[in-house]
Amino acid sequence: MEQLRSSGYAPVNGLQMYYEIHGEGEIPLVLIHGGGSTIETTFGTILPLLSGKLIAVELQAHGRTSDRDAPETFEQDADDVAALLKYLKVDKANFFGFSNGGTTTLQIAIRHPEMVNKVIVLSGAYLREGFIPGFFDGFAGATLDNMPEPLRVAFLKVTPDKERLQTMFEKDVARMVNFKDIPDEAIRSIKAPALVIVSQHDPITIEHNIKISRLINGAQLMVLPGMHGECIGEMGIVKPGSKQPGITVGLIEEFINHKTDENDTAE
């Protein structure tokens, strides 16, 4: 089990950005949570299972991180994470993003390739058409009552401020309503080794993840059973006694620890 070494707030692009550092190691794995989430709600189940040095972050308006007078975007989130790593004097890292965090991870690989060693994208998307039919209809007239109860409770546990919760929800909804396609050429420009993961019953289609894995040269693709977030025991989908989070962690660490050499050939 990796112990929490330190936590704090970094001055990042007008934010006070919350982060945690767990464990030890040379190249850290940066954990980027899903929309509306905190470190705990996305990664609480697998944090004790992951080895090496981990840097977990909370993005603009999420969890313990402050807000700025600007919309939240995937591009800005990517720049914020990059700025945090510079603040922490981290030159290169692996990145693991879930859901909206997966899209942010793609933007990091596009916008800050010099910082990227490997990327793991779980349930991420880069095109509106990558979501299941009707997905965006659910945001019309959405209110805080539509936010999953475990996520509401978790936010208020770390930041007991209902106004900040409301702001985060509204910015999260607006980010999805205004979801902008990333050009194929930008995804194709990613040179870092990539592991693309999707669950069988995800709101992002398997076909879309196949497309991502084909655009990124040499990317690996993994399709797992279950619902969105089930493979990592995301809050609300935790199944007591499930071996799936441990299996997922094992496969992710095998990907991270595999040393590429001249005998490895891209697909």
pLDDT value at residue 167: 97
pLDDT value at residue 266: 43
Tell me whether residue 245 is in a domain: yes
Residues with pLDDT less than 70, the chain: 1-2, 236, 238, 260-267
The answer to pTM > 0.75 is yes
Q: Which domain, by its residues, includes 110?
A: 4-188+204-257
pLDDT value at residue 100: 98
Tell me whether residue 174 is in a domain: yes
- To the nearest whole percent, how much of the chain has pLDDT over 70? 96
Tell me whether residue 42 is in a domain: yes
Tell me whether residue 267 is in a domain: no
Tell me whether residue 23 is in a domain: yes
What CATH number did the domain enclosing 10 receive?
3.40.50.1820
Contact between residue 231 and residue 199 where contact means Cβ atoms under 8 Å apart: yes
Contact between residue 101 and residue 121 where contact means Cβ atoms under 8 Å apart: no
Of residues 133, 132, 136, 102, the one with CA closest to residue 120: 102
Contact between residue 62 and residue 38 where contact means Cβ atoms under 8 Å apart: yes
How would you write 63-87 as a 3-class SS string?
CCCCCCCCCCCHHHHHHHHHHHHHH
Q: Per residue in 28-68, pLDDT tens?
A: 999 999 999 999 999 999 999 999 999 999 999 999 999 99
As a whole number of angstroms, the distance between CA 266 and CA 31 comes to: 26
Helix (H) / strand (E) containing 32: strand 29-32
Tokens describing residue 174: 């607006």
pLDDT value at residue 245: 96
As a whole number of angstroms, the distance between CA 191 and CA 113 comes to: 8
pLDDT value at residue 262: 42
Tell me whether residue 175 is in a domain: yes
Tell me whether residue 236 is in a domain: yes
As a whole number of angstroms, the distance between CA 64 and CA 220 comes to: 34
Phi-psi bin for 62: left (phi > 0), alpha (psi -120 to 50), beta? beta
Domains contained in the chain, number: 1
Tell me whether residue 158 is in a domain: yes
Of residues 65, 59, 194, 58, the one with CA closest to residue 124: 194
* 266 alpha carbon, distance to own chain's centre: 25
